[in-house]
Every structure is written in structure tokens, then in C-alpha cells.
Amino acid sequence: MFRNQYDTDVTTWSPAGRLHQVEYAMEAVKQGSAAIGLRSKTHVVLATVNKASSELLSHQKKLFKIDNHIGIAMAGLTADGRVLSRYMRSECINHNFVYESPLPVGRLVVQVADKAQVCTQRSWKRPYGVGLLVAGTDETGPHLYQNCPSGNYFEYQAFAIGSRSQAAKTYLERKYETFMGCTKDELIRHALYAVKESLQEEELTSSNCGLALVGIDEKFEILDPKKLQAYIDSMEDATKEEAAPTEEQPPHVAAGALLTRESSGGVEVPADGDGPSPMET
Amino acid sequence: MAMMMPPRMNPSDSASGPKQHQSWSPYDNNGGTCVAIAGSDYCVLAADTRMSTGFSILTRDYSKIFQISDQCALASSGFQADIRALQKNLDARHQTYQHQHNKQMSCPAMAQLLSNTLYYKRFFPYYAFNVLGGLDDQGKGCVYSYDAVGSYERVGYAAQGSGMQLIIPVLDNQLKSASPLVLPKRESATPLSESEAVDLVKDTFASAAERDIYTGDGVEIIVINAQGVQKHYMELKKD
């Protein structure tokens, strides 16, 4: 109820102890088209929904290679994401120059998070409006992290951000226990199924999704459309039981209703007003 | 360790006798020789593997060749610490280029970048005598020869380092048409075949190793062509 009075400045607290500008920035992430990440013992896969607002428009780039061992998928203000990826690339190159070894993923994620935090505590700045899924491998194996505009970062087995990400998250929650043992191809198929959930009634083709993966002995690579289409085609050959539950859902269900229905597994439904804010753990 | 300066002779001191004054130098010369030859569809780069300081050998097995991209390699003789720093610098710049342009740098673009990088340190130069070799945008062999501060020229063949004065006359003689001294000026590549060029390079190094004390131990040869990069190695005299 007091949101409007305390949401002008990022440096103004609300009486409920929240920074509304930062939460609004996280809202921008939720409005962006979905990005999904999942990992196994050997690989991490990133997948994105590429929605073009008109047929004349080409799809936005949401997958970026940061270094041979790190890549990101973004959701939200992709322009902010490009700036962050330039910073991340620069940090990786500098680290490599000084230490002649790849920058561990977790360290890079913390640096990005600290950079994002600065924008939440300066009156002349605004928070980054982009959420990143950072996939990478280092000495401790493959990792998947999420970076928030709030300056928080989290490590995940599997996660999805952006619009209609809840549908993908539900799929991931159902299947994530099997991910660790998956082969590369199985992991990619799981990612594509998750993307399919986010696309709902639309057909999955290589032109409305993107996929990238990185592995312990494999450099980060964004799959070209041909390879991607081959994986999509192989999905149809695989068992149909994964596809069945989604077909039972009514096609034009409102996003809100979907959220409440799946709230048993869902997290981070932002309440208007009191209650723990999405930024706090 | 940087080499100790020998006592300098100061002409104005002829009355009082020469001043003896030791001083520290930030540079050292680790010796060695580099050669490159450009062919119609290949490029051969070679460098000996001896690293010296003063009259001593530091190691018989040091590579002076650095592969910057799939199409381009850099062979440098001089002060290896500066050379290593230069290689890392170019590598970092190349990585940034790849991120921004989604492709590798062409050899002519790398040639310009190297020149600019060297001139950037015009007043504290990289003690590096470079030969850059690779394939140009048309797939023809190209070789670029540099001085320590970035002055460069595309040539049909080049040699740098302690053995260059012994090797260049031989290459001038054997690769007549590709010589940069022939007018009208053209960046011609040699009509020699790849294997002939490699054999020529091996012969030149064997000859240089006879007379130049800083050249020897072994020669590392790389050939860049449409099929990629192939490496060869030949032993040289160890004395």
C-alpha cells in the first residue's frame, strides 16, 4: 500500500524494509522471455526461448559465450546483459593473463553480484534489469548459477527465469533427480522439453529457441540451428509420456492461475506488501 | 638475469682515461633465430630452440613460436621475457576480437595489431624481433617482418635474430623472385612447393648453426596451410 511513496529512489527503504526499485528490476527479468539451465555430473545446458515481437524482426541474442569454460543465458533487458557479458569476458581474459588459468565460475559470479549490488546503493544509478544464468566448469566440476539484479546469486541444479518460467520449473522439479546421471544428449533433451513447457501451445523449432552447453572436457558452444533441429527431431522419437501431461492443460490458461495451481512446487511468488521479499533468503 | 653492461668508452675522457661503470639493464638477449617463408597456399615458420644468456645456454628446448590464431603464428627472437609478455598481450587482444566479431583475426589484421602493440611501447620497447606468418584472406601465404618498435613490411620471406645475417643472403639466392629487394615491389610468395620450402629452411638452420653460437640444439618448424597447422622438428648441432 505504501509502495508508491517509497519506490522512486533505489536508495529509499520502504517501511516494510524493502527496496522497491530493486524488486521492480527483478520484475523486468520476469517479463523477459524464458531462460533455462540444468546440469549433470559432466555438463551444463542452457536453453532460451527466442520470441520475436514481429515476423520481420530477427531473434534477440540471449546466449553469450564468456570464455571457453563459461557461458550465460539472460532474461530481461538484454542490453544490460550485453554490458555485463562484456565485463565478464574482460574479467576472464584478465584473470587468464595474470594466472594463466581459467577463472573459476563461482568467483566470476560473485564479482558480477558485487557489481550489481553497487547499483542498488547509489542514487545516481539504477539496478541492472537482467537476470543471468551462468553455466560453467572449473576444477570442482560443472556449475549453474543465477545472478539477480538485487546482487544476490544462487547455485542451482536446474532453474528457469523469465516469463512462463514456472512451467519449465515444474518440469525441472519433476525430473531433476535424474539429471546428475544424464548423458549430454539426455540433458539437452530435458532442456528442450523444459523450453517446450514454456512455449506451451507453440511448436518447438530451432527458430524459436536457442541452446548452448559446456562440459568438463567440452568448450562452451552455442548450438547452430541445424544441430538444434536434429535434437528437436530426436525428441519426437523419444518416449511420448513426457509430452502427455502438458497436452492435458487447457491452452489459454492465465499466467496467474498457472502459478497458483503449481504453487506446491513454486517459489518466489511476490506478494504485494508484506511478507518476505524475493531478495531475502 | 639481465646482462651486465660492459665498461663504456667515453670519448670526452681521453685525457683522464676510460671510465669504468657497471650498470643494470632491464633487457637481456636470449639469442636465437627465426625464419619464415610464404608460399602460394602455405606459410612456413621456423625458429631454433636454443635459449642463451651471454655465453651460456639456459635451455636447449624452448619454443620461440606462438600460435595466435588458426591462420597466424608469431616467431620472435630477442628477450624472451618481453616476448612472452607480448604473446600474452596479443592473445588477450585476439580473444576480445573474437568475442566482438564472432570470428578469428585475419593475418593482415594481426600484423597491424602487432605493429600498434609494439609502437605503444615506443619509449620502453619490447626487445622482440618478430616474424609473423600465416595465410591472408585469400588463402595465400603471407609473412611480415618487424623491428622492435613496430615498423613492418609484408615480404615473401624473412629472418630475424642472431643468425639472420647468415640466413638472409642464402634465402635471397634461393628465393630470387620473392626477394623484397627486387623491383618493382611486390609481395610475392615463392613458387616453391611446401616440402621444398621446409627442406630449404632446414638447410639454412643447419648452416647458421655452424657459425652462429646462439643458434643450435634444434629447429621447430610449423607449416600453416588450408589443412591446418603441421609441426616438424629437426635436431641441430649442440655446440
HEC sequence for chain A: CCHHHHCCCCCCCCCCCCCHHHHHHHHHHHHCECEEEEECCCEEEEEEECCCCCCCCCCCCCEEEEECCEEEEEEECHHHHHHHHHHHHHHHHHHHHHHCCCCCHHHHHHHHHHHHHHCCCCCCCCCCCEEEEEEEEECCEEEEEEECCCCCEEECCEEEECECHHHHHHHHHHHHHHHHHCCHHHHHHHHHHHHHHHHCCCCCCCCCEEEEEEECCEEEEECCHHHHHHHHHHHHHCCCCCHHHHHHCCCCCCHHHHHHHCCCCCCCCCCCCCCCCCCCC
Q: Is residue B11 part of a domain?
A: no
Q: Do A65 and B99 touch (CB under 8 A)?
A: yes
* pLDDT tens readout for residues B67-109: 999 999 999 999 999 999 999 999 999 999 999 999 999 999 9
Architecture of the domain made up of A20-239: 4-Layer Sandwich (3.60)
Cα distance from B187 to chain A (closest Cα, Å)? 35
Of A89, A94, A96, the CB nearest to B99: A89
Q: Do A89 and B92 touch (CB under 8 A)?
A: no
Given CB atoms, is B231 within the 8 Å cutoff of chain A?
Answer: no
Q: Is B33 noted as a catalytic residue in this protein?
A: yes
Considering the candidates B33, B49, B190, B215, report the single residue annotated as catalytic.
Answer: B33
Cα distance from B122 to chain A (closest Cα, Å)? 22
A222 → chain B, closest CA residue? B102
Q: Which domain holds residue B101?
A: 31-50+58-235
Please count the structural domains in chain B. Answer: 1
Q: Is residue B229 part of a domain?
A: yes
Residue-level pLDDT, tens digit, chain A, 281 residues:
667 889 999 999 999 999 999 999 999 999 999 999 999 999 999 999 998 778 788 878 899 999 999 999 999 999 999 999 999 999 999 999 999 999 999 999 999 999 999 999 999 999 999 999 999 999 999 999 999 999 999 999 999 999 999 999 999 999 999 999 999 999 999 999 999 999 988 888 888 899 999 999 999 999 999 999 999 999 877 655 545 554 444 444 444 333 333 333 334 444 444 445 555 55
Q: Which residues of A touch B95 (CB under 8 A)?
A: 89, 93
Q: Are A190 and A240 in contact (CB under 8 A)?
A: no
Q: Do B92 and A97 touch (CB under 8 A)?
A: yes
ipTM reported for the complex, 2 dp: 0.85
Q: How many CB pairs under 8 A join A and B?
A: 14
Q: Do B96 and A90 touch (CB under 8 A)?
A: yes
Residue A67 corresponds to which amino acid? D
Confidence of residue B32 (pLDDT cuts 50, 70, 90): very high
Q: Which residues of A touch B96 (CB under 8 A)?
A: 89-90, 93
pLDDT score recorded for residue B224: 97
Query: What CATH number is given to the structural domain containing B109?
Result: 3.60.20.10
Strand order in the sheet with A130-138: A63-67, A70-76, A130-138, A141-147, A153-155
* B12: pLDDT strictly greater than 90: no
Mean pLDDT, chain B, integer: 92
Q: Do A93 and B88 touch (CB under 8 A)?
A: no
Given CB atoms, is B103 within the 8 Å cutoff of chain A?
Answer: no
Cα distance from A111 to chain B (closest Cα, Å)? 19
* pLDDT tens readout for residues B33-60: 999 999 999 999 999 999 999 999 999 9
Q: Is residue B4 part of a domain?
A: no
pLDDT score recorded for residue B21: 86
Q: Do B96 and A97 touch (CB under 8 A)?
A: no
* B212: pLDDT strictly greater than 70: yes
pLDDT score recorded for residue B22: 87
Q: Which residues of A touch B89 (CB under 8 A)?
A: 97
pLDDT score recorded for residue A276: 52
* B135: pLDDT strictly greater than 80: yes
3-state secondary structure chain B: CCCCCCCCCCHHHCCCCCCCCCCCCCCCCCCCEEEEEEECCEEEEEEECCEEECCEEEECCCCCEEEEECCEEEEEEECHHHHHHHHHHHHHHHHHHHHHHCCCCCHHHHHHHHHHHHHHCCCCCCCEEEEEEEECCCCCEEEEEECCCCCEEEECEEEEECCHHHHHHHHHHHCHHHCCCCCCCCCCCECCCHHHHHHHHHHHHHHHHHHCCCCCCEEEEEEEECCEEEEEEEECCCC
Given CB atoms, is B88 within the 8 Å cutoff of chain A?
Answer: yes
Q: Is residue B184 part of a domain?
A: yes
pLDDT score recorded for residue B162: 97
Domain extents for chain A? Answer: 20-239
Given CB atoms, is B84 within the 8 Å cutoff of chain A?
Answer: no
Task: Please state the φ and ψ torsions of residue A220, each to the nearest 5 degrees.
Answer: -60, 130
Q: Is residue B1 part of a domain?
A: no
A95 → chain B, closest CA residue? B92
Cα distance from B92 to chain A (closest Cα, Å)? 6
Q: Which residues of B touch A96 (CB under 8 A)?
A: 92
